[in-house]
């Protein structure tokens, strides 16, 4: 083990630590070297590192929160909005949730080496198809310091080396969390370079990371459309987008209206700044005059700014501004919601497919036919029947944690957990066969 595993002098206050500024190539080269060793690391050793990380998170909660306060103060001074500050904020419960998430990853089956298929070919060669790590996975993310821990834990358990690149808005929080990860890696004697980090610099550094095609196997960006666009311009490394969420709740003609009110309210209000919060409410015309005044009253009382089409405004009973064309395509990241009345399930499906981001969509209905049509017709990673979109989450899905939610169709879709961080390998055993 080199000195890098042990990090800086631990007598320093954690909030004063910083991710060392060094070239992206040097960081990625260390990660590549580690990635060649990690597939052979035992499950027990990986779990030992994760157990150490969970323990350190709990032991150093006060120091983590001190560092987080530095970021929050800087964010307020910089004029970050409430939704961004919420994603940035840590408290004892959120730190404990990170530790619990790490322990949940420990409890999951190690995907590395999993046998997917075994058969004998006509040639007599014995073929095995097994799950293997991807190699070096770079995760680029904005604001959320918990991603530092989630990404590190998932990459370690799945046998990948991780290169983490958080945003400057979370610099102090990420620095202490990366340091704790490195201490856990060193304590369990995992390869040096298993978890690396680059400072959250600007576009030039991001571009350098995205061009490391000889050292990095996959980049996963977790952030808004601006981050996605910036990477698309320069990336030479394959990208798996943990993308934004323009999510919908559709309340059908056959819905239980009390259930519809509850689900629509939860999907918008419970935590409005996250990607699985609903941005648009669709209501069947048959129930609009009865349902809209009640649900929009709930949302208005919660401080939600409402915009809608003409039929919504006519039935609302509370102030609803006219929706512009761009309102149907926006992820608000806050207490704002677009509302439309639709003529049928088919019209709701069409609206979702035209304006949604492919993240999470929900129908509230008592009709099996409507539910089947919606789940079959909507093109999204997660489709709910009679439940809030807020459940799209790796922890809720039993994955322990997640790096984000993929809205792509290759190579993974939905929450990105352990198995989504693996590839496969064919191993073939012969007895001297040659091909004629």
Please report the domains of the chain, with CATH numbers, ordered by start residue: 3-243 (3.40.605.10), 247-391 (3.40.309.10)
> For residue 397, which of 154, 129, 156 has the smallest C-alpha distance?
154
* Rounded mean pLDDT, 235-250: 92
pLDDT of 365-387, one tens digit each? 999 999 999 999 999 999 999 99
| pLDDT confidence of residue 21 | 59
Mean pLDDT of the chain: 93
Q: pLDDT tier at 201 (50, 70, 90 boundaries)?
A: low
Q: In which residue are the tokens 């035209």 written?
A: 354
Residue 22's φ and ψ, nearest 5 degrees, are: -145, 170
Mark out the alpha helices in 60-91 (DSSP H runs): 61-77, 82-88
Going across the sheet that includes 115-120, the strands are 115-120, 126-133, 422-429
Q: Which tens digits make up the pLDDT trace of 135-184? A: 999 999 988 899 999 999 999 999 999 999 999 999 999 999 999 999 99
Number of H helices and E strands in the chain, helices first, is 14, 16
Q: Which of 222-226, 231-235, 405-409, 428-432 has the highest mean pLDDT?
A: 428-432
pTM here is: 0.86
Q: What angle do CA 46, 221, 362 make, to 5 degrees?
A: 100
pLDDT value at 306 more than 60 = yes
> If we measure between CA atoms, which residue out of 219, 236, 183, 228 comes closest to residue 54?
183
Mean pLDDT of 223-230: 81
Q: What are phi and psi of 222, to 5 degrees?
A: -120, 100
Q: How far is CA 94 from CA 56, 147, 398, in A?
A: 14, 12, 18
Confidence of residue 223 (pLDDT cuts 50, 70, 90): confident
Q: Considering only CA atoms, give the Rg of the chain.
A: 24
Beta bridge partners of 341: 283
With beta carbons less than 8 A apart as the criterion, state whether 150 and 420 touch. no
Alpha helices in 270-344 (DSSP H): 288-301, 310-315
User: Rounded to the nearest 10 degrees, what angle do helices 92-107 and 61-77 cross at?
Assistant: 120
Residues 6+ apart with CB under 8 A from 79: none
Beta strand pairing call for 126-133 and 422-429 = antiparallel
229 pLDDT more than 90: no
CA 166 remoteness from chain centre: 13
Percent of the chain with pLDDT over 90: 83
- Residue 8 predicted with pLDDT over 70: no
% of the chain surpassing 70 pLDDT: 95
């Amino acid at each position: 083990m080199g000195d890098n595993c042990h990090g800086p002098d631990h007598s320093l206050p954690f909030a004063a630590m910083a991710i060392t500024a060094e070239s992206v190539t040097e960081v990625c080269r260390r990660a590549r070297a580690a990635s060649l060793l990690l597939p052979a690391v035992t499950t027990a050793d990986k779990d030992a590192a994760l157990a150490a990380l969970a323990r350190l998170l709990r032991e150093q909660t006060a120091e983590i929160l001190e560092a987080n306060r530095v970021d929050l103060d800087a964010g307020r001074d910089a004029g970050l909005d409430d939704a961004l500050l919420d994603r940035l904020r840590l408290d004892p419960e959120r730190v404990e949730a990170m530790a619990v998430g790490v322990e949940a990853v420990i409890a999951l089956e190690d995907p590395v080496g999993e046998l997917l298929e075994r058969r004998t070919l006509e040639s007599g060669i014995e073929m095995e198809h097994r799950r293997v790590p991807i190699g070096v996975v770079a995760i680029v993310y904005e604001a959320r310091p918990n991603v530092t821990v989630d990404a590190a834990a998932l990459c370690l358990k799945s046998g990948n080396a991780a290169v983490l690149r958080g945003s400057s808005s979370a610099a102090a929080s990420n620095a202490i969390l990366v340091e704790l990860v490195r201490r856990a890696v060193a304590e369990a004697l995992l390869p040096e370079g298993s978890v690396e980090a680059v400072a959250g610099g600007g576009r030039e550094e991001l571009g350098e990371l995205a061009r490391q095609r000889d050292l990095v196997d996959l980049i996963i960006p977790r952030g808004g459309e601006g981050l996605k666009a910036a990477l698309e311009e320069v990336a030479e490394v394959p990208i798996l987008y943990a993308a934004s969420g323009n999510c919908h709740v559709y309340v059908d003609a056959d819905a239980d209206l009390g259930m519809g009110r509850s689900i629509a309210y939860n999907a918008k209000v419970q935590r409005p700044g996250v990607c699985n919060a609903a941005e648009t409410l669709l209501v069947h015309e048959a129930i609009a005059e009865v349902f809209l005044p009640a649900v929009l009253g709930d949302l208005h009382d919660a401080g939600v700014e409402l915009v809608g089409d003409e039929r919504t405004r006519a039935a609302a009973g509370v102030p609803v501004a006219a929706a512009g064309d761009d309102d149907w395509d926006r992820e608000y990241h806050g207490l704002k919601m677009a509302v439309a009345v639709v003529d049928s399930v088919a019209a709701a499906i069409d609206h979702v497919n035209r304006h949604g981001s492919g993240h999470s969509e929900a129908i509230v209905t008592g009709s099996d036919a409507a539910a089947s049509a919606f789940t079959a017709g909507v093109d999204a990673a997660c489709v709910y029947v009679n439940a809030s979109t807020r459940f799209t989450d790796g922890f809720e899905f039993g994955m322990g944690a997640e790096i984000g939610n993929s809205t792509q169709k290759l190579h993974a879709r939905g929450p990105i957990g352990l198995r989504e961080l693996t590839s496969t390998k064919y191993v073939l055993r012969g007895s001297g066969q040659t091909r004629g």
